[in-house]
Chain A
Amino acid sequence: MTVGVPATPWFAVRRELAPRQRAVLALIAVLLPLAVWSAVSYVPWIWHPMMMVERGAEDSYLKPGTLVEHGAFVRENQRLVSAGQVPATGVPANPVFLPAPHLVAIALYQAFVTPPRLRGDPWLHQSLWQSIQVIFWGFTLSALVGVPLGVLCGTFAAIARVVEPFVDFIRYMPAPAFGALMVAILGINDAPKIAVIFIGTFFQMVLVVANTTRQLDRALLEAAQTLGARNRQLVTSVILPGIMPNLYSDMRVLLGWAWTYLIVAELIGATSGISYFINRQGKLLNFANVYAGIAIIGMIGLVTDQILSALGRALFPWQNQPVGAVTRWALAIIGFVPRVVLRTVARNRAEYQRSQAELLARHRAAAAPSAPHVERPETPP
């Protein structure tokens, strides 16, 4: 920070914070929920509405290890005392659906290293990979059709008038309702799951993209027209690059929707993927494992979104958004692989072109001397 520049206030309307402030807030964003969760889990006088029985009592349902409501525990002990028996002891505990953070962490680790109970059942990472594939295909197919259609709707009123009423109609139908239908049509494996994700995102996507397209400043289109751009050029050279940053954030939001549809989609037909894991652990009352499963989805979502956001800033430099140091590092790492690939591709292409040129030259030399047929059109200065 330079001398004389006042520190950025924490609450300034629509102003970016200083890097230090951003880092602090990011840390708080992670630590605050964790702290609350830990407090509720580990501090005995916060919440803890249950009792975990330590030493049981005879002739009673209070057996060691059972979890009972606080009130019921007290009443049962009163009954035992008045009957002249030794009361049970216990410690305050939370209900089974709120496991402590360390239990979830252990469960998370255990879930990955525990081999599947039945041979042929998938490991957790295999289930996860399957989920990711379902999301990927569902969302990619949806984007491949939905984005062009949305752009066309936002560009040409004639197309919007035909497409949008229909899309709007289907949009209100819950995607999971199509599940049974999709199974009947597509079988019980991944196809109907992909279809549900497609249905869940596609119709929203068309409308969202059409709207984003309409928001492009009209003056840019007019300027392009006075510069000689025609219909198709307007779409490819003005509308597409112009809406790209907003389109990109639309896709990020819609990708989140795809994950919410995933859980329902995976219960269709043969239950599979991460939902299978969560569902099964829920039935077995292993709530630590359920939380582990949910946390995995959350983490995948968060990491993907952070990567996409960082990538967005790198892709659209004219947006003038600050790129933090962490982001730059992440990008450098992410960027390394494609760069190697691109460089290789470029080198190969250059070699190919050189060889083609040589070939052509030899060909020309062999043929009778004639005028070269490639000629740049003369443009008057």
Chain B
Amino acid sequence: MSDVLALPDYTEMDPAVAARFVRLKQRPVVLEVDRVGKTYASAKGPTTALADVSFQVHRREFITVIGASGCGKSTLIRMLAGLEPYTAGSIALDGKPVSGPGPERGMVFQGYTLFPWLTVTRNVMFGLRMAGMGDDEARSQAQQWIELVGLARFADAYPHQLSGGMKQRVAIARALANRPRILLMDEPFGALDAQTRSQMQSYLLQIWENVNITVLFITHDLDEAILLADRIVVLGAPTPGIPHGHLMEIIDVPVPHPRSAEQLLSPRFLATRRRIEELIHGGHAQSTSDKLPMIKMTQAGDEVV
């Protein structure tokens, strides 16, 4: 489809965008990932899920990580969060090695992980209370974050009274309330319908523009990856040549800011999209395994195509 259009090269960008990248890369490095790898010890011996992944995240940067299913995206972000130990390389936040979960690396999960026994306000207060802040102070700060995600009306509701999108907004507020150095998000909108999802993307962009926050966001949705990101880390699934998840390319997104859904069809956007498609679903081997080994299970004459 996109072959039909004459698209610019995805590495070309407007001077203003290029200048922005120069400035961005001069900012201090918040997260340093250096040749990180993970080998699981399974019953059939050790299996390497991910190896040799290196990248840096600068302050206030929005990084998305994209890759086919099973390439190790969740493994990577869980290692960054400290929920999973890494077996090779190093991860450092502000120069200090990561050795376990901590409040300076907030996380929003794909599943809903709000505490069902706490109201929205109390959920958002959770991290502040854990850090020893008094109840009143924590409450007033939590209220600000709840207003920021537009849920003031539901401050006293319990999670089971909220829709999926609202739950994820609370989860974002809850993570932000801790003022983390970096916000890690593992396919946070994966379970939402398309419309809610694009609304959530716009919320997230607004929050990122207005709050001092660095974001690392995992997705398998191409449009989402491009729309949100300054830079995109593309991970590759295991291939016969490289039998584990691996880093393919880090793409500087040439689409100018501020971002909005209208840019989804702009030439630069489409060029980037085509590049990622090439990387992930690239010509090799993949197309042959696309066909399922199907047995015909319909009656003759009942064909649909």
Contact = CB atoms under 8 A, between A and B. Distances in A.
B158 A317 contact: yes
A225 B160 contact: no
Specify which of B107, B130, B137 lies most central, judged by the most chain A CB atoms within 10 Å of its CB.
B130
Interface in B2-60: none
Interface string A235-250: 0011001101000000
Interface stretch (A133-141, A207-215, A226-234, A325-333): A226-234
A351 interface: no
Interface string B112-134: 01011110000000110111011
Nearest to B104: A228
B208 interface: no
A16 interface: no
Contacts of B81: 222, 226
Contacts of B130: 224, 227-230, 233, 237
Contacts, number: 79
A219 interface: yes
B175 interface: yes
A107 B264 CA distance: 83
B115 A220 contact: yes
A242 B109 contact: no
A225 B115 CA distance: 13
Given A226-B81, A318-B116, A219 B109 contact: yes
Main DSSP-derived SS at the A contact region: helix
B159 A227 contact: no
Contacts of A42: none
Given A237-B126, A238-B115, A242-B117, A228 B109 contact: no
B116 to A, nearest CB: 5
Interface string A368-381: 00000000100101
A74 interface: no
A228 B82 CA distance: 12
B103 A222 contact: no
B83 A225 contact: yes
Contact of A223 (B102, B107, B158): B107
Specify which of B102, B117, B134 lies most central, judged by the most chain A CB atoms within 10 Å of its CB.
B117
B148 to A, nearest CB: 13
Interface string B124-151: 0011011101100100010000000000
Specify which of B107, B113, B118, B137 lies most central, judged by the most chain A CB atoms within 10 Å of its CB.
B113
B160 A226 contact: no
A318 B137 contact: no
Contacts of A244: 117
Contact of B101 (A226, A317, A318): A226
B113 A222 contact: yes
B174 interface: yes
Nearest to B101: A225
Given A227-B178, A237-B126, A222 B83 contact: yes
A10 interface: no
Contacts of B116: 242, 318
A320 interface: yes
Contacts of A241: 115, 117-118
Given A317-B158, A318-B160, A226 B103 contact: yes
Interface in A232-272: 233, 237-238, 241-242, 244
A224 B137 contact: no
A217 B106 CA distance: 19
Interface in B159-215: 159-160, 171, 174-175, 178, 184
Given A222-B101, A223-B109, A228 B115 contact: no
B111 interface: yes
Contacts of A233: 130
Contacts of B101: 222, 225-226
Contacts of B133: 379
A226 B117 contact: no
A285 B232 CA distance: 86
B231 interface: no
A381 B141 CA distance: 8
A336 interface: no
Contacts of B115: 220, 223-224, 238, 241-242
B268 interface: no
Given A224-B126, A226-B105, A376-B134, A219 B178 contact: no
B79 to A, nearest CB: 13
A226 B126 contact: no
B208 to A, nearest CB: 19
Nearest to B174: A227
A226 B131 contact: no
Given A222-B101, A226-B103, A227-B175, A320 B160 contact: yes
Given A227-B130, A229-B130, A379-B137, A222 B109 contact: yes
Interface of A: 217, 219-220, 222-230, 233, 237-238, 241-242, 244, 316-318, 320, 376, 379, 381
8 contacts: A224-B126, A225-B83, A226-B103, A227-B106, A227-B127, A229-B130, A242-B117, A317-B158
Interface of B: 81-83, 100-103, 105-107, 109, 111, 113, 115-118, 126-127, 129-131, 133-134, 137, 141, 158-160, 171, 174-175, 178, 184
Closest 6 CB pairs of A and B: A228-B103, A225-B101, A227-B127, A223-B113, A226-B107, A318-B158
